Structure 1
Amino acid sequence: MTIKVNQVTLYVQDQAAAVDFWTTKVGFEVTTDQPYGPDARWIEVTPPGGGVRLVLFKAGPDWPALSQDQPNYAMFAAGDIVKAHAELAARGVEFLAPPVEEPWGWSAVFLDNEGHRFHLSQDSANA
């Protein structure tokens, strides 16, 4: 039996702003956008070429905010982290620092439009 991850949910306050960030700045594509309840939409964005879908889900008013001082559960990888960092930063993605080589590999942390932190690592399998 094979089990794989097909989507990760990111709870956001502003779905339109999140779509703009993940498509315009990160370069993902909207693959699903449909009504979901009275005040929200079911929106999925996917990296170019496919892969795990990121669901931009509208957080409820009583939901706790995602931690803005720790990275979130979703982690991203690029074949060339230095090139990816340069391209994303040129599109306006805010990084806390340029990529650095850690004992476990290359890493950088970036912020989304709501200030949530995400890791970007070097994908050694596709480097």
Structure 2
Amino acid sequence: MIQRIGQIMLYVNNQDEARQFWTEQAGFHVVAEEDNGEGMRWIEIAPAPNAETSIILHDKAFVASMSPDMNLGTPSLMFFSEDLDQLYADFKAKQVTVGDLVTLPFGRVFNFADREDNYFAVMEKKNTTSS
């Protein structure tokens, strides 16, 4: 039985630029960075150091050379934020490309793009767990 999502693979054209975007503009943390010395380098990022799910930034060209039939398209990701208005303002101040902040039947949401024009979404979701 699958119990949770551990890692999401994100294939990028430029790992250093992707790392910079996700850490400096989106506020993620680098959890780990590995390089096997043979061209295989990956950078693990997460919204918090102890997050259950992380994103692995892989070099798209390298992975394509190793697995030519692999689907290297960008996954459709939905992130959650407890303070959507503040995040939206922060992204705009950091010159992140953002869509309109809209209200849908399931909640308020906006999309944003990384430096490679991959689009992701953020939905307002209040933490309902008690501590």
C-alpha distance in structure 2 between counterparts of 1:2 and 1:66, whole Å: 23
C-alpha distance in structure 2 between counterparts of 1:40 and 1:92, whole Å: 31
SS of 1:114's equivalent?
A: coil
Look up the match of 1:102.
104
Task: Please give the root-mean-square deviation of Cα atoms over the aligned residues, in Å.
Answer: 2.2
Q: Say whether 1:123 aligns with 2:111.
A: no
In structure 1, the gaps of 5 or more residues are none
Count of matched residue pairs = 121
Look up the match of 1:58.
59
In structure 2, the gaps of 5 or more residues are none
> TM-score, normalization: structure 1?
0.83
Question: Structure 1: which 4+ aligned runs deviate by more than 6 Å?
Answer: none
> TM-score, normalization: structure 2?
0.81
SS of 2:76's equivalent?
A: strand
Superposed counterparts of 1:37-116, under 5 Å:
38-51=38-51, 52-60=53-61, 62=64, 66=73, 72-97=75-100, 99-116=101-118
Q: More strand per residue: 1 or 2?
A: 1
Residue identity in the other structure for 1:43: I
| Larger-Rg structure | 2
Contact persistence 2:29–2:49 (CA under 8 A): no
**Fraction of identical pairs, as percent:** 27
